[in-house]
Amino acid sequence: MLMSKPLSFGHGPQQTLKCVEVHKIVKMGSLFRSAEMTLCQLFLQSEAAYACVSELGELGLVQFRDLNPDVNAFQRKFVNEVRRCDEMERKLRYLEKEIKKDGIPMLDTGENPEAPQPREMIDLEATFEKLENELREVNQNAEALKRNFLELTELKQILRKTQVFFDEAVAGGNVCHQAELSAYGGSQMADPSREEEQVTLLGEEGLRAGGQALKLGFVAGVILRERIPAFERMLWRACRGNVFLRQAEIETPLEDPSSGDQVYKSVFIIFFQGDQLKTRVKKICEGFRATLYPCPEAPADRREMAMGVMTRIEDLNTVLGQTQDHRHRVLVAAAKNIKNWFVKVRKIKAIYHTLNLFNLDVTQKCLIAECWVPVLDLENIQLALRRGTERSGSSVPPILNKMDTPEDPPTYNHTNKFTSAFQTLIDSYGIASYREMNPAPYTIITFPFLFAVMFGDLGHGCLMALFGAWMVINEKPLAAKKSDNEIWNIFFGGRYIILLMGLFSMYTGFIYNDIFSKSLNLFGPSWRIFNISNADLKSKTVFELDARADQNYLGTSYPIGMDPAWQLATNKIIFQNSFKMKISIILGIIHMLFGVVMSLFNHLYFKNRLSILTEFIPQIIFLTFLFLYMVLLMFIKWFVYFANISDDDIVYGTRCAPSILITFINMVLQKATPYEPKCKTSNMFAGQIGLQYLLFYIAMICVPWMLLAKPVLIMRKRKQAHAYSVTHQQMASATENGDAQQTGGGTGGHGEGHDEEPLGEIFIHQAIHTIEYVLGSVSHTASYLRLWALSLAHAQLSEVLWNMVLSKGLKVEGWPGGIALYVIFAFWASLTVSILVLMEGLSAFLHTLRLHWVEFQSKFYMGAGYMFQPFSFEVILDSASQSKEEP
Amino acid sequence: MGASAIPFIIFTVIWAGVGGFLPMVVPKGPNRGIIQVILILTGVCCWLFWLCCYVAQMNPLIGPKLDRNTVLVVAKQWGIEILIVFHFQSDLTKAFPGYKP
């Protein structure tokens, strides 16, 4: 069933587009193979080209090829328009930055405006120009005003602070100066004040007289607070201690108008004597970027000035407020449209960028393009072109011509939101070759299933499925959020995989009868406790239940899954290992056989009879006769051998049951399997040895078959062809090349088939393939044992977690038990989620990925294609908005 | 031997229904092929997994080893063999003070 079904979905290349019905049928199977592509030549009237390309961009189904690869980017036809778009984009980014600065919400209606007509570009440009200029002007004004405001504020602060200094100087008698001395006298900085103090000793009048006589000058200004210590030191050194500095901090931070940062500043006043010192002090102030302000000496002047400053600040405040209001209004108006504008400009730019890839024909009236298009969508493309022509008002319809090309077309898989995640898994290994079998549809189930074999636990699977279901149900609101969190985006992108992995884990967990390492007893175990005597119960601590049907075993197995009795058993691992190892091999071999059968569909599709005969047939024989036979032996062992009741059955009893692995190894090594005398034979069925010899020798014949048949046949064919007609062939190839060069344009004619490959290379290739396959069969089979290993590890880990953590909480008695359980449960639950679900889930995921990439896909998947990258506004806009958010 | 017809038939029918019948009634549409493959593979995988588990336990070669405590608890909880309960009632009442036969 598994193997025959895909046949009905494969499509021959002959199925062409004769009617719409055929389209739809072919379209259904589109994910099974990549879409059929064709190279087309497109003739567009110059005036219609813009509108047509715009329509194609909306459609997103056409990949244009660069027809001027040797023309540099600055010499192309529409480079001017692209530049203008760049300029517009720059202006928009500036606007956006300003909008963000003001924290105005940008309206994102999610609407998708059509690319505007080329003539609208001028309007847009004018709009943006106007907006930008207005904004720049407003900003300049605002900055000037702010600078003015800052200066005034600083002046205000100076007047206020220096008032204190002067007041101290004036009102302070000796006491005040004493205090000042104690503060500053310790440093020699206070030298001038010491002089001053001596003056004050003469009394009030003396002070005035002395003050005037000494002609103490001063400057006042404002400086950044962090510069104060260096400033002070510099002053002290440069003036040799002959100046007196007083400073006070301005408590409120001031706004720096150029950067908009809040900075802390201090007011200082420096007293000095003489002009020499004055120039020196001024120079130092300049050097430290301190701003100096005039400060009148007389208190009355100062008061007057302060009054003036206050009124000017108030005036400035109103003007500033109005400026800000204006700026805000402009920005709010722009914010409504900015997303829309961005979309428009990016679309125009993308269109011109695409037009730059086109060729001008001789008459200059027509643009020629070459593009890859999916054959099925040709009609859609024609429609889009017609729409474009109508929109532009051109009378001449565009012409779409199919072309022949020796090149491999790009690979294009139609995916939807469900299948795209699985396709991504496949694509990250390698893009499928053109029209090769796509593993993605099968991966949708085999991936979660193999994952679940390793992750099998009803409880953990349930958690995972719930998480997946939550993401799937809330798909739209979650997708609209557009989170930047990379990990979340990975989870969200794989939501359907997670959901399916969870569901399958629930199923396998149910079959393993494992729920957080405990079992469910739904159907009653098939083991009973019977025949245990009183003495036994007292003397023995461990009881092995007798597997014989008339003893502890009821005779029929537990209907669904693992018997709950095994979960309680101390020898659980022995039993489960044998079971899990066997199913790993069984599933693995079926998976690989499936892969080999897929290669048959590839060969059939590509009409590669040679490969079917020389590769597929020996491969499948090799795998079936050796490995599928081993699977058969496992089933025979399960069916035939049982715990014997009487000695008559000892041949089929526990004692005589042969090991499958030993049997298989001996089959390959051609050795007899040893057996106990009372078992009479090591055979599981009559004629086993003979059959094994036969199978083994046929399988061995397959090795040289795979190795030599293909190259030898190719060699013979070439000799025949060579003898046939040299001249005829030469002529044919000459004309072919000529045609190809004409139609293929500048692409050149590379990519000859492997007919031209030298024979030696074919031999080497085939040898590598054969060795890879034969050795791979062994190593890949063993590789599937990871299913067993991970599943064992997962079950054991969850059991350890239960026994070491949660069961401790369950054993505390009385009311403290409740509290203990509460805490311990939280601990257990967080460990369960973080380690068992997240980490184990990740590890099982990676192992499953490997099983698919290596073990499964190596059987048929070339993965040598390249991705179809259509010209699509959707993709361009998405990537543009993403790259914008990154920095 | 060891097999019981009823679970085998029920389970085979269920998964054959998923993998064999459902694909035939999938409504026509662009995704029909994918849905069919999904259903078939689900049926095959799940049936095979269950089958292996069932067949592996059909003719056990070894029996589970149980602790004495487990034996007593199992005997009490699952009521597997009344016979034992009569024989070892004294042990059971010792092991589980609240136990009433």
Model confidence pLDDT, tens digit, residues A381-412: 888 898 888 888 877 888 888 888 888 899 99
Interface test with A, best of B45, B46, B94 (most A CBs within 10 A): B45
Q: Token match 């920095």: residue?
A: A887
**Confidence label for A767 from pLDDT (cuts 50, 70 and 90):** very high
Query: Is B52–A521 a contact, with Cβ atoms under 8 angstroms apart?
Result: no
Domain count, chain A: 1
Give the tens place of pLDDT for each residue, A116-131: 888 888 888 898 899 8
Indicate whether A251 pLDDT > 90. Answer: no
Q: Over the stretch A170-190, which tens digit does the pLDDT of each residue have?
A: 654 444 344 343 334 333 343
Q: Which tokens is A180 given? A: 């000042």
pLDDT higher than threshold 50 for residue A308: yes
Cβ-defined contact of B3 to A416 (cutoff 8 Å): no
As a whole number, mean pLDDT of residues A26-33 equals: 62
- Region A92-110 average pLDDT: 83
pLDDT of residue A302: 82
Tell me, yes or no, whether A258 lies in a domain: yes
* Residue A568 confidence (pLDDT) above 80: yes
Tell me the per-residue pLDDT of A474-497, one tens digit each, with 9 for 90 and over: 999 998 887 788 899 999 999 999
Among all chains, which residue has been given the structure tokens 């100076």?
A158
Residue A143 confidence (pLDDT) above 70: yes
Which of A511, A553, A583 has its CB closest to that of B63? A553
Contact by Cβ (8 Å): A324, A142 = yes
Interface of A with B in 24-53 (CB under 8 A): 24, 27-32
- Nearest Cα neighbor of A777 from A589, A586, A580 is A589
Q: Give percent of chain B with pLDDT exceeding 70.
A: 73
Residues from chain A contacting residue B6 (CB–CB below 8 Å): 559
Interface confidence, given as ipTM, is 0.84
User: What tokens does A596 get?
Assistant: 């080999």
CATH number at residue A281: 3.30.70.2750
pLDDT confidence bin for A214, thresholds 50/70/90: low
> In A104-251, where do the E strands start and end?
216-224, 244-249
pLDDT of residue A702: 94
* Burial class of residue A752 in the structure, from the number of CB atoms within 10 Å of its CB (0-12 exposed, 13-18 middle, 19+ buried): exposed
Range with lowest mean pLDDT among A527-531, A618-622, A639-643: A527-531
Query: What percentage of chain A exceeds 70 in pLDDT?
Result: 86
Chain A residue whose CA is closest to B87: A534
**In this predicted model, what pLDDT tens digit does every residue of A74-96 receive, in sequence order?**
888 888 888 999 999 999 998 88
Helix (H, G, I), strand (E, B) or coil at A761: helix
**Residue with more model confidence, A620 or A545:** A620
Residue A579: the pLDDT is 94
**Res. A207: pLDDT tops 50:** no
Is the model's pLDDT at A363 over the cut of 80? no
Whether the CB of A541 is below 8 Å from some CB of chain B: the reply is yes
A863: left (phi over 0), alpha (psi -120 to 50) or beta: left
Q: What is the pLDDT of residues A574-620, one digit of tens each?
A: 999 999 999 999 999 999 999 999 999 999 999 999 999 999 999 99
Cβ distance A444 to B65 less than 8 Å, yes or no, reads no
| Selected residue of A497, A519, A638, A851 to mutate for chain B interface (largest B Cβ count, 10 A) | A638
Report residue B23 as tokens.
């694909």
Of A361, A417, A446, A406, residue with least CA distance to A77: A361
Residue B87 Cα to chain centre, angstroms: 31
What are the structure tokens assigned to B83, written together? Answer: 């016979």
Mutation target among A3, A4, A5, A852 for the B interface, most CBs of B within 10 A: A5
Q: pLDDT tens across A822-832, in order?
A: 999 999 999 99
Cα separation, A656 vs A754, whole angstroms:
55
Q: Which two tokens stand for residue B55?
A: 């067949």
Residues 6+ apart with CB under 8 A from A593: A3, A620, A623, A624, A628
* Residues of chain B contacting A27 with CB distance shorter than 8 Å: 30
- Smallest CA-to-CA distance from A263 within A232, A219, A227 is with A227
Work out the average pLDDT over A717-725: 80
Domain that holds residue A230: 138-320
Q: What is the pLDDT of residue A733?
A: 56
Mean pLDDT within A546-568: 83
List chain A residues with CB under 8 Å of B52.
579, 582-583, 586
Q: Which of A215-219, A777-781, B28-32, B77-81 has the lowest mean pLDDT?
A: B77-81
Percent of chain A with pLDDT over 90: 35
Domain assignment of residue A526, yes or no: no
Residue A444 contacts B, CB cutoff 8 Å: yes
Tally of CB atoms within 10 A around B38: 23
- Whether residue A169 has pLDDT greater than 70: no
Structure tokens at B41: 């593979």
Give the gap in angstroms from C-alpha A823 to the nearest C-alpha of chain B. Answer: 28
Query: How confident is the model at residue A729, as a pLDDT?
Result: 53
Q: Is the pLDDT of residue A11 over 70?
A: no
Task: Establish if A288 touches chain B: CB-CB under 8 angstroms.
Answer: no
Only one residue has tokens 């003015």, namely A148
Q: Is the pLDDT of residue A784 over 90?
A: yes
Query: A786 to chain B nearest CA, in Å?
Result: 16
**Which of A548-562, A784-798, A833-847, B74-88 is predicted least confidently?**
B74-88
Would the pLDDT of A813 be above 50? yes
For the ranges A100-114, A577-591, A701-715, which has the lowest average pLDDT?
Answer: A100-114
Residues 6+ apart with CB under 8 A from B101: B85, B86, B89, B92
- Name the pLDDT band for B15 (thresholds 50, 70, 90): very high
pLDDT of residue A194 exceeding 70, the answer is: no
Task: State which amino acid sits at residue A153.
Answer: T
Residue A235 domain flag:
yes
A542 touches chain B (CB under 8 A): yes
pLDDT on residue A734 = 53
Q: What CA–CA distance (Å, rounded) separates A289 from A292?
A: 9
Chain A CB contacts of B54 below 8 Å? 557, 559-560
Average pLDDT, chain A: 83
Residue A20 reports pLDDT greater than 50: no
Between chains, do B34 and A419 touch, taking CB under 8 Å as contact? yes
Please report the number of interchain residue pairs, chain A to chain B, with beta-carbon separation below 8 angstroms.
Answer: 210
Confidence label for A884 from pLDDT (cuts 50, 70 and 90): low
Q: Does A285 reside within a domain?
A: yes
